[in-house]
């Protein structure tokens, strides 16, 4: 692993880029990493849109195994639950699958291959991510591209209630793209195309919202209650290279105060640049793993390269 001399972020949120971090076996590859997660031993799970949907590495980037072939249609969200189980959200299949670390499916939410009616409010139409209530273990599912809802489930998969609807008012959504909870049970939803993160209590009641974000796409919360927000850049040619709108990672605390912004070199594939931070997580050393839907993001403007980079590791500088 080679660490770049480029520093992203600042202060206690300063990072080197780990260049060529992971080693893939011959014949393996991907063009889109939708989500990434780490388990209690800092093993890294890369949920991607290639022929091997889940690829697992150790913390040094050594390949361990892959799984999910023939199960997942289109990787989208990935989160870690109790006892190191994984919640894998497949927006192409309209399902959430709870899996063991070696790929055994324990529970499926939704009907594989069958979408709910568009904007019906019923689960699911292209669901995007899962968060867990830290006290009860209840599940929150953001749903998604074809719905404008959040659904709350019991740990064993019984639907409790849903909230939201299409729109831009508080409590409404324009692509609820990612979701996390804090230690007090508040729910944070990346309302991507309304350029905000909305915060709710555990009953789905609107509390507040954070603005001054550009297409917030990925969310991750640490034990310190720091919320890392992956922001997409532009999807339009008119402001593709406009500075100060991303792609980047913003760090907030639960009070809504901005602690840092990571990524200042503009959109691109160079060291220290991002294209489309779509999923992210931190390990026990507070290193950041960023999955990017790079091919899709580039294709808005031009043909992406055949082996476009879509996974990065940022190593904490202090």
Token pair, residue 212, equals 């001054």
Digit-coded pLDDT (tens) for 121-135 = 999 999 999 999 999
The answer to whether 126 and 177 have CB atoms below 8 angstroms apart is no
Residues of the chain with pLDDT under 70: 1
pLDDT at 315: 97
Token pair, residue 147, equals 């719905």
Q: Number of C-alpha atoms within 13 angstroms, CB side, residue 279? A: 27
Q: Which CATH superfamily is domain 2-316 in?
A: TolB, C-terminal domain (2.120.10.30)
Token pair, residue 297, equals 């993001």
pLDDT at 1: 67
pLDDT at 256: 96
Alpha-carbon distances of 290 from 53, 169, 231, 293, rounded to whole Å: 16, 30, 11, 10
Residue 233 CA to residue 244 CA, distance in Å, equals 9
- What residue segments make up the domains of the chain, in order of their start? 2-316
Digit-coded pLDDT (tens) for 227-252 = 999 999 888 889 888 889 989 999 99
pLDDT at 213: 97
Residue 216 CA to residue 229 CA, distance in Å, equals 6
């Amino acid at each position: 692993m080679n660490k770049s001399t480029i520093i992203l972020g600042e202060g206690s949120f300063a990072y080197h880029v780990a260049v060529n971090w992971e080693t893939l076996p011959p014949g393996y590859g991907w063009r889109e990493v939708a989500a990434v997660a780490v388990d209690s031993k800092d093993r890294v799970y890369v949920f991607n849109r290639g022929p091997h949907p889940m690829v697992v590495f150790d913390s040094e980037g050594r390949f361990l195994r892959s799984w999910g072939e023939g199960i997942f249609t289109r990787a989208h969200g990935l989160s870690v639950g109790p006892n190191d189980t994984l919640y894998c959200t497949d927006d192409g299949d309209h399902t959430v699958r709870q899996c063991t670390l070696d790929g055994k499916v324990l529970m499926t939410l939704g009907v594989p291959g069958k979408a709910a009616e568009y904007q019906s409010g019923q689960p699911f139409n292209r669901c995007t991510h899962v968060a867990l209530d830290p006290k009860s273990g209840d599940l929150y599912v953001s749903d998604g591209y074809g719905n404008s809802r959040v659904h709350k489930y019991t740990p064993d998969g019984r639907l409790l209630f849903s909230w939201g609807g299409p729109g831009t008012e508080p409590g409404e959504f324009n692509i609820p793209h990612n979701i996390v909870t804090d230690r007090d049970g508040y729910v944070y939803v990346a309302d991507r195309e309304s350029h905000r993160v909305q915060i709710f209590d555990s009953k789905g009641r609107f509390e507040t919202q954070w603005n001054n974000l550009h297409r917030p796409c990925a969310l991750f919360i640490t034990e310190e209650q720091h919320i890392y927000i992956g922001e997409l850049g532009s999807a339009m040619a008119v402001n593709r290279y406009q500075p100060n709108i991303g792609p980047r990672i913003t760090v907030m605390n639960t009070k809504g105060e901005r602690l840092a912004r990571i990524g200042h070199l503009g959109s691109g594939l160079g060291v220290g640049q991002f294209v489309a931070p779509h999923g992210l997580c931190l390990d026990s050393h507070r290193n950041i793993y960023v999955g990017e839907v790079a091919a899709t993001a580039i294709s808005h403007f031009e043909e992406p390269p055949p082996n476009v980079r879509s996974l990065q590791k940022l190593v904490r500088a202090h």
